[in-house]
Chains A and B, each alone.
Chain A
């Protein structure tokens, strides 16, 4: 059970002066149960890769298979394979359209042919996921919300489809820290409870370090590094710098502390680890 990307390339606006190759020979397999973060400089092809994973873009060469079904085809099998992959776009709040929040979130489940009862159940669950109160919000118009609330409705619209592979393209850009943490906490719970894969595209190294077990680093349309988060941040720092990707603050702080004479037992990757190691080194805990 996996998404298999085999040697895909993609060029935007082919045969015009604005031609631009966004992906070059990308090969990667993402299994269920993995939490993968895709990072990389802006314009490195992250969103383009994401759009290939559920068949929104068809690769110029190469294939994308979801659970063994090639997405470049027709028929019910392909359609249901595509429905397994949910994608939350960059700035998803711009895709809201319905009169009420309920209707908007119900759009996806209805399209996959669920009964009205099931749809309601999914909407309730999805609104719970993003922390919107069903009774207070379900009949309101999505256009009278704040930007952050709109974002949550849009995310709920994808969650309601019960994706087995969930792709999120910079879900936290422009969100306040509390909503962001709440969404990630929910995401972690769902990820642990159910056997799904999460693919998180982000510019925040902290998010990547904290939540992802595997890191894909993209540069110029190729996968520059693919490996375990900890190992990548520890061992590939020069390569990361080369492709213009920062490292988490906690690693920088560990280095600084080391320079100033405070040796931590291990390289801290996340904030929590950093606090823990400092406490230990200082004998505070």
Chain B
């Protein structure tokens, strides 16, 4: 009943991209985002699209899966496109009554929505190829330097790990409780808002109770294994940079340089 939540779901694999160090992938994703904001010309967008496609290919992900990840925001993408189309100034290429579409508006609209699509795709590639646990490990390492200014890196990462770990569990639990109450004749559709909210109680109360019970059990289990926060804690899987991370870093540098050159070398700028 509650399936189809793709954003942030790990797609297991053993490809080059899957095996990269999570820190590399996080930093690479960030630099790609910077590259997207630097890109101004059609050529640079072509380079970015080609880059994303080759990453998808390298990661051996189904293209459709990645394309689907834009679903949650498609309305915003369409709106962006529409607004730019209708408000652009310049050379009119198509008009009907008071609506007119300009060449500048069209290219602006395409660029802006492409930007959103690329951002969504690259961040879901990150989560498709990195298991949530490894991802938080990476975040913890990257946040470590900020500990001195009071960022509780370990605690944040632990909270994220636990939250991520329990999302599927809670979804499953909701599903089970819903089924159990439906078997007792509960119906969750129909009626006005108050009736519907009241109808949700038989699901929400058991769900909250089980969430609290789980939290309690988890806390006890962690304490009985002597967990006491991040101080002096070592990691079972130390993160190590390998050759492939260097390769990936080089690729990112090359990408940024290409995009930078395309932006700042006037004359080459073609829109």
Contacts and interface: CB of A to CB of B under 8 A. Distances in A.
B210 A158 contact: no
Interface string A80-95: 0001011101001011
Given A13-B3, A17-B12, A96 B206 contact: yes
Contacts of A111: 184-187
Interface residues of A, number: 25
Contact of A89 (B176, B202, B203): B176
B170 interface: no
Contact of A95 (B11, B12, B201, B206): B206
Nearest to B184: A108
A40 to B, nearest CB: 20
Contacts of A96: 206
Interface in A85-143: 85-87, 89, 92, 94-98, 107-108, 111-112, 143
Contacts of B71: none
B177 interface: yes
A161 interface: yes
Contact of B180 (A16, A92, A161): A92
A152 to B, nearest CB: 16
Contacts of B182: 56
B184 A161 contact: yes
Contacts of B183: 54, 56, 85-87, 89, 158
A97 B176 contact: no
A158 to B, nearest CB: 7
B167 interface: no
Contacts of B202: 95, 97-98, 107
Q: Classify the secondary structure of B's interface with A.
A: helix
Contacts of A246: none
B180 A95 contact: yes
B131 to A, nearest CB: 13
B205 interface: yes
Interface in B145-169: none
A51 interface: yes
Q: Classify the secondary structure of A's interface with B.
A: mixed
Chain B contact residues (Cβ within 8 angstroms of A): what range?
20 to 34
Contacts of A108: 184-185
Contacts of B75: none
A94 B186 contact: no
A143 B185 CA distance: 22
Nearest to A12: B3
A89 B179 contact: yes
B89 interface: no
Contacts of A16: 3
A157 interface: yes
Contacts of B203: 97
Nearest to B182: A56
A17 B205 CA distance: 32
B117 to A, nearest CB: 22
Given A94-B210, A97-B201, A51 B185 contact: no
B209 interface: yes
A92 B187 CA distance: 19
A96 B173 CA distance: 13
Given A13-B3, A17-B12, A107-B202, A94 B185 contact: no
Most B C-beta atoms less than 10 A away, residue of A17, A85, A98 = A17
Given A13-B3, A94-B206, A97-B201, A56 B184 contact: no
Most B C-beta atoms less than 10 A away, residue of A54, A87, A94, A96 = A94
A51 B209 contact: no
Contacts of A87: 180, 183
Interface in B191-235: 201-203, 205-206, 209-210
Most A C-beta atoms less than 10 A away, residue of B12, B181, B183, B210 = B183
Contacts of A54: 183
A-B interface, 9 closest residue pairs, ranked by CB to CB distance from nearest:
A111-B185, A108-B184, A95-B180, A97-B205, A87-B183, A97-B202, A56-B179, A89-B180, A97-B206
21 contacts: A13-B3, A51-B179, A54-B183, A85-B183, A87-B180, A89-B176, A89-B179, A89-B180, A92-B180, A95-B176, A95-B177, A95-B180, A97-B203, A97-B205, A107-B181, A107-B184, A107-B185, A108-B185, A111-B185, A111-B187, A161-B184
Given A97-B205, A111-B185, 13 more contacts: A13-B3, A16-B3, A17-B12, A54-B183, A56-B183, A87-B183, A94-B176, A94-B210, A95-B177, A98-B202, A108-B185, A157-B184, A161-B185
